[in-house]
A = this chain, B = another copy of it.
Amino acid sequence: MLRARFFASMREFELLKIVEEIFGDEKIDVPAGKHDAGFLRYGDEFLVFTCDTVNELCDFPRFMEPEEYGKMAVAVTLSDLAGSGAKPLVFLSSISLREPDEGIFRKILLGIKSWAEKFGVKVAGGDIDFSPVLTISGFAVGSARRILTREGAKIGDKVYLTGALGKAQLCLEMLEKGFRRDELPYAQKLYTPEPRIREGLLISEYASALTDISDSLAVSAHLISKASRVKIVIERDKLDLSYLTEFVGEEKAIELFLYGGGDYELLFTAESSDIGLEIGRVEEGSGVYLDRTIVPFRGYSHF
């Protein structure tokens, strides 16, 4: 999402192939590398596991407050549970500080506590370490009644989003141009994104495929397209991008919408849905399209 992410760009997905090669045959219902989170049957349900790391070099926008570091660690981790239709159970974090600064540490923990309470997850532990780069690794466990992943989108399904995309990226680019935090139109989206836990749970009742959007809509749509072996068509006339064109031109607005990261909304397919914004349809074929134009696999990698 930030500058450092451009550096490695899509190389993360090359590395993910190695993960699948080495761990693809683990005896687990959904293994590592296949989805946002792993699923393991446990009693009548599935336990759902995920982890995500944020660090100050790659993930914290300028002017971000330590309490927001903690909130972001919770948000990005729980977003993977939301993208699996899972109910959060516990959250843990490994916090690597630059130095044993009690003030910053306390603020990070208070941020974690407030976001954990807001999204209904218990804080079950953690670890303190030291690193020249302040880093927080979040881990979460949830439970789900069924397996819901990127696989399963059906021809004829519609494509939905839980909310507007491109707001975080717009703000980030404004920061790079020298705007102050209080001048950003969607600062809340950039500094304190919220995982769509409630929506994920509701959607899990009927969605055919689901994932969260951390890198970009383009990346998430490609992941669903590939896992489900379908074509995803985003329909331009279904999109209301006025919240972006208020600040940038039409072309830039579409770029922010398709390739911007950091909004942490959910992308899902279903026969129909009262939840979310309908943005397109699932067709026979492969790849991702905006009407008839190919949308490349591109976004802001986790790096």
Contacts and interface: CB of A to CB of B under 8 A. Distances in A.
Given A8-B130, A55-B131, A129-B58, A15 B92 contact: no
Contacts of A113: 22-23
A50 B110 CA distance: 20
Contacts of A171: none
A275 interface: no
Contacts of A131: 55, 57-58, 131, 133, 135
A19 interface: yes
Nearest to A58: B130
Contact of A132 (B89, B122, B132): B132
A184 interface: no
Contacts of A90: 28, 38, 40, 47, 49
A99 interface: yes
A15 B93 CA distance: 14
Contacts of A89: 40, 42, 47
Interface stretch (A101-109, A161-169, A249-257): A101-109
Interface in A26-76: 26-28, 31-33, 37-38, 40, 42-43, 47, 49-55, 57-58
A96 B302 contact: no
Contact of A51 (B4, B38, B130, B139): B139
A248 interface: no
When all copies of this chain in the complex are counted, the total is: 2
A137 to B, nearest CB: 4
A123 B32 contact: yes
Contacts of A302: 127-130
Given A124-B26, A135-B131, A18 B49 contact: no
Given A49-B139, A129-B303, 18 more contacts: A14-B100, A14-B102, A19-B126, A28-B123, A28-B124, A40-B122, A47-B90, A47-B141, A51-B94, A51-B126, A51-B127, A51-B137, A55-B131, A57-B130, A127-B302, A128-B303, A129-B302, A132-B133
Interface of A: 4, 7-8, 11-12, 14-16, 18-19, 22-23, 26-28, 31-33, 37-38, 40, 42-43, 47, 49-55, 57-58, 89-90, 92-94, 96-97, 99-100, 102, 105-106, 109-110, 113, 122-133, 135, 137, 139, 141, 302-303
7 contacts: A27-B122, A32-B92, A47-B141, A49-B92, A51-B126, A58-B131, A130-B303
